[in-house]
Structure 1
Amino acid sequence: MSSYASLLKSPGVARIIAAQLTARFPFGMLSLALLLHVEHVHDSYAAAGLVLAATSIGQAIAGPLTSRWMGRWAMRPVLILTTVLCTLSIGTIALVEMSVPLYMAIGLVAGLSMPPVQPAVRTIYPKMVNSRQLTPLFSLDASAQEIIWVLGPVITVFLAVQISTVTAILTAMGILVVGSTWFISSPEVGRVRIPLSRRKLGAVLGRPPVLLATVTGFLLIGACAAVEVGVVAAFGEGGSESGVILAIFAIGSLIGGLSFGHRPIGPTALAMRMLGVAIGLSLAIVSLNFWWLALTMLIAGVGIAPALAVMFAIVSASVKFSETAEAYGWVGTGQLIGAAIGSAIAGFVIDASGAPGAFVVAAAFAIGGVIVATVFRRWHPDLRDRDASPIPDTEPIAVQPS
C-alpha cells in the first residue's frame, strides 16, 4: 500500500486519476441504463442486447481511430469533438422513443463518439512518474476504475427504479459532460504530445503482447458483459438486487487490484488472474440465489483488476511511445467487441432458456481467456526484472560523408 501512497503524492497524479475517473464514470452507468431503457420500451432483453452490441461495436471501431487522431491533431481537439457528439447521441436515445433499428443506429453513433479518455490517460502516465512507479500506477488505475463499477450500477438501478430509465441515462450524460470537461482542462492533456506514428493503422497488432492483451481483454470483458445482462434478468428490471450484485462484483475487483496488482509480472501472470475469474463465474452457474451470487461474484471479481493491470503493463513495455495510444485503442476495441458479443449472446440465451444461461456464457468466455493466456504465454513479456515504460522513439540522424 505504501507504493500507492507515494504515487498519489507525485505531482498531478491524484488529480489526473480523479478527472479521468469522473470522465469515465458514465461508462459504468450507460450500458445498464440503456439495457433497462430499451427493455422497458420494447419488453425484450434480446432487443436491449442488440442496442448494447451496436453501441459497443461503435466504440470498438472508434478506439484505434480516435486514439491515432490524438497523435495527428493532439488530444484536446479530439476529446472535445467526441464529447459533443456523444452527448447529443445519448440525449437522443433518452428523450426519443424509437424502433429497435433506430436505437441501434443512434447507439452506434454514441459508441463511435465515446471520448477516448482511457487511451489518452494511459499514454500520459509514463510521462508523469518514473519507470519503477509505472506498473503500480497501472494497477492503481485498474483498481480505482472499479469505483465506476461499484457505484455506477447502484446509482443507475436506483434512478431507473425510483424515477425513470430516462433520468438514469440523462444523469450519465451530465456526468460525462462534467468529467470530460475536467479531464480536457487538465494541464497534462495539453502538455503531453503524442508523436505521429509512421506505421500503418493496425501494424501495432503485429506485436504479440498487444495481440495477446487484445484477445484476452475481449474474452474477459465479454464475460463481464454477460454477467451484467444475466444479473439484471435474474432479479428483474425493478429489482434493486441487481445493482448490489454488480457492485459486489466490482468490489471484488477493487480488492484484487489493491492486493495483487502491484506484484511482479511474470509470464504466467495473466493466465493465473484469468483463472480466478473463471472459477468464480463457473461456480455462479450452480444457483441464482442472491447470497450465492454475491459470494461467487466477489470471487470472480478478485481477478479482474489484476488481469487488466497485466494487460496495460505488457502493452506499455512492448510498443514505442508513439504507438501507445493506438495500442491501447486496439485493446479497448477488443474489450468492447467482447462486451458487444457477450451481451448479445447472453440476451438471446436469456430469451430462449432464462437467466441461468447468461452465466454459462460468462463462464465460457472466462475459461476461453484462461486457455488463450496459457497457450500463448510465450507472447507474455517477463517484467519481473524490468519496468513497463514504452520503447523510446528514435529518429535516423543524417550524417555528412567526410
Structure 2
Amino acid sequence: MAGSGYRELLRTHGVGRIIAAQLTARFPNGMSSLAILLHIEHATGSYGAAGLVLAASSVGQAVAGPITSRWMGRWGMRRVLTLTLSVCVLAFLGLALLRLPLPGYMALGLVAGLSTPPIQSAVRTIYPKLVNAAHLTPLFSLDASLQEIIWIVAPVLITIVSTQLGTVTGLLLVAGVLVAGGAWFILSPEVGRVRIPRSRRGFGAVVLKPPVLLATVIGFLLIGSCAAVEVGVVRTFNEGGLSAGLVLAVFSVGSLVGGLASGTVPIGPWAMARRLVIVTVGLALTMVSLNVFWLGGTLIAAGVGIAPALAVLFAITSASVKFSETAEAFGWVGTGQLIGAAAGSAIAGFLIDGTGSPVGAYLTATLFAAAALVVSVAFVRAFPDLRGRDAAPIPDTEAVTLP
C-alpha cells in the first residue's frame, strides 16, 4: 500500500488511536527480555541462568496466552487486562528489588509471563470491527510493520538504561511503562465498545484448524530465531550498550521497511515461503563475520522478511476462524511464538556458555528460520489463498427460531 493509502487507513475513526495505544502497551515486550537477561546475568554471572529465567517467563506467557485471551470473551477485555497488568507489574518489581537464588528468579519470571496482559489478542480482535474487510489485510501489515518501532527503540533504550544506570533501573523502567501503556490501552474507547462473544467450541479446538496450527508452528520457529539473534548480539558485544542496541535496532529497521513495502502484495499459498527465504539467507550470512557492520547489514537483510511473514500469520489466522474464536486463536499463535522465544534464547544461551562464542546463537537462529521455511513449503496446500478475498473472520451465526 502506498504512503497515501496508509495515511487514509490511519484516518479511519479509532484506528490511529488504538494502534498508538497498543504499541505503547506492548513497548515493554521490547525491553523485558533484554532487561531480564542483563539483570540476571549481572546477578549470577551466567548467560545460561539468564536464559533459564527468560525461558520461564516465555513459558508462562505461552501457557497463559490462550487462557487469558479466552477469558476476555467471558469476563470482558477490561477486567482481564486490568487483572493481568496488575500482577505483571508486581512480578517485575520483585525481579528488580529482591535478591534471590536462581529458582526464585525463575519463579518470578514465570509469574510475570503468566500475567502478561493479552494485548495482541485483544487488539487483533478489535481490528475487524474498526475497518471494512477490504482494509483488514493492509491493517495487519501496517500493524506488523509499526510494531518494529518497539524493537528499534526499546533495545537501544533498555541497554543504555541498564548499562549506564543499572539493571535494577532497567527493570523498574519496564514496570513503569507497563503501567502507563496498559492504562492507555485499557481506557481506550474501542476496548470498551468491542465485545467478544463466548466461543461455543471447547477450549483448544480452534488450534486444530490447519491455518491456525501452521501459524502457531511457524510463529514458534520464526520468533525462536529472533530470540537467538538477540542473545547472540548481546554476547557479541559483551553487553556493549549502544553497539548491541543499535545492531538489534537495524534488524527491526529491515523488518519495518519490508512490512511497509509488502502491505498490498497479495497473500497466496507461497507467500510465507518466499518471505522466509529472505530471513533464512540473511541469518545464515551472519555467521561469516562478527564485525559490527557485517552483522548490521546481514540482519537488515534478514529483517526484510520478518514483518511480511508475521502479516501472513495474522491474516491466515483471522480469515480461518469465527469472530468469537479470534482472541483464543491469536492467543495460541502467541503461545507458539513465546515457546519459540523460550527455546531460542535458552538454546542460544547454553551454546554460548558451552563454546564461549556467540556463533552458536546465530547458528541456532539460522536453523530455526530454515525449519520454518521447510514447514511452509511442505504444508503449502494448507495455507488459505487470500488473493482476491479479505482476511475478515467468519461471522458467528446461530439458528433462528421462526414464529
The answer, yes or no, to whether TM exceeds 0.5 is: yes
Q: Choose which of 197, 202, 205 in structure 1 pairs with 2:204.
A: 202
Larger CA deviation: 194-203 vs 234-243: 234-243
2:311 aligns to what? 309
- SS for the counterpart of 1:285 is helix
1:365 aligns to what? 368
Paired AA for residue 374 in structure 1: V
CA RMSD of aligned residues (A): 0.8
Question: Cα deviations across residues 281-302 of structure 1 (Å, max 9, x unaligned)?
Answer: 0000111110100000000101
Deviation at 1:240, TM superposition (A): 2.2
Q: Indicate whether 1:388 and 2:399 are aligned.
A: no
Q: Choose which of 128, 131, 137 in structure 2 pairs with 1:129.
A: 131
2:280 aligns to what? 278
Whole-angstrom distance in 2 between the partners of 1:267 and 1:333: 23
Give the conservation status (yes or no) of the 8 Å contact 2:160–2:241: no
Paired AA for residue 80 in structure 1: T
1:152 aligns to what? 154
2:109 aligns to what? 107
Give the conservation status (yes or no) of the 8 Å contact 2:55–2:343: yes
Deviation at 1:399, TM superposition (A): 4.1
List runs of 5+ in structure 1 lacking aligned partners.
none
Q: Indicate whether 1:294 and 2:296 are aligned.
A: yes
For residues 340-355 of structure 1, what are the structure 2 equivalents within 5 Å?
A: 340-353=342-355, 354-355=357-358
Deviation at 1:78, TM superposition (A): 0.1
- SS for the counterpart of 1:3 is helix
Deviation at 1:398, TM superposition (A): 2.6
Paired AA for residue 351 in structure 1: D
Q: Choose which of 162, 177, 186 in structure 1 pairs with 2:188.
A: 186
2:99 aligns to what? 97
Q: Percent identity?
A: 64
Aligned residues: 400
Q: Choose which of 26, 29, 38 in structure 2 pairs with 1:27.
A: 29
Question: Cα deviations across residues 110-138 of structure 1 (Å, max 9, x unaligned)?
Answer: 00000000000000000000011100000
Deviation at 1:389, TM superposition (A): 0.4
Whole-angstrom distance in 2 between the partners of 1:262 and 1:41: 47
- SS for the counterpart of 1:350 is helix
Report the TM-score when normalising by structure 2: 0.98
Question: Cα deviations across residues 366-386 of structure 1 (Å, max 9, x unaligned)?
Answer: 000100011111110110110
1:318 aligns to what? 320
Paired AA for residue 36 in structure 2: L
Whole-angstrom distance in 1 between the partners of 2:231 and 2:109: 17
Question: Cα deviations across residues 20-74 of structure 1 (Å, max 9, x unaligned)?
Answer: 0000000000000100000001010000000000000000001000000000001
Whole-angstrom distance in 2 between the partners of 1:22 and 1:125: 17
Give the conservation status (yes or no) of the 8 Å contact 1:142–1:257: yes
Report the TM-score when normalising by structure 1: 0.99
Question: Cα deviations across residues 203-227 of structure 1 (Å, max 9, x unaligned)?
Answer: 0012100000000000000000000
Deviation at 1:82, TM superposition (A): 0.3
Deviation at 1:232, TM superposition (A): 0.4
1:75 aligns to what? 77
Q: Choose which of 10, 18, 24 in structure 1 pairs with 2:12.
A: 10
